[in-house]
Amino acid sequence: MPESKGRAKPAYTPPRTAQSNSVKPNPRWFVPVMIGLMLIGLVWVVTYYISGQHEYPVPQIGRWNLGAGFAFMMAGFLMTTRWR
């Protein structure tokens, strides 16, 4: 009796591996700027609250001093998400 031909199996190809994206470290200035922004924001807000009639750091912007201080702190915090 004749024997049927088997199907040709494709050659084995190993599964793709993820490309090794070499993660480069941050520059040396990154961490000091990150910490500096957070500290500047903290000092800004504390100075606003400690000053008696809220004259400091910038009297013309009034309560927006809180927004400026928190903006500095948020910029430093956002930098922490990119820290390697």
Least confident span in 3-12, 41-50, 71-80 = 3-12
What pLDDT shows up at residue 60? 92
- φ/ψ of 69, rounded to 5, equals -65, -45
**Residue found under tokens 């994206």:** 21
Check whether 4 has a pLDDT greater than 80: no
Digit-coded pLDDT (tens) for 24-71: 899 999 999 999 999 999 999 999 999 978 788 988 998 999 999 999
DSSP for 34-82?
HHHHHHHHHHHHHHHHHSTTS-SS-GGGTTHHHHHHHHHHHHHHHHHTT
Quote the pLDDT of residue 20.
Answer: 62
Q: Is the pLDDT of residue 18 over 80?
A: no
What is the reported pLDDT for 27?
94
Per-residue model confidence as pLDDT tens digits over 24-35: 899 999 999 999
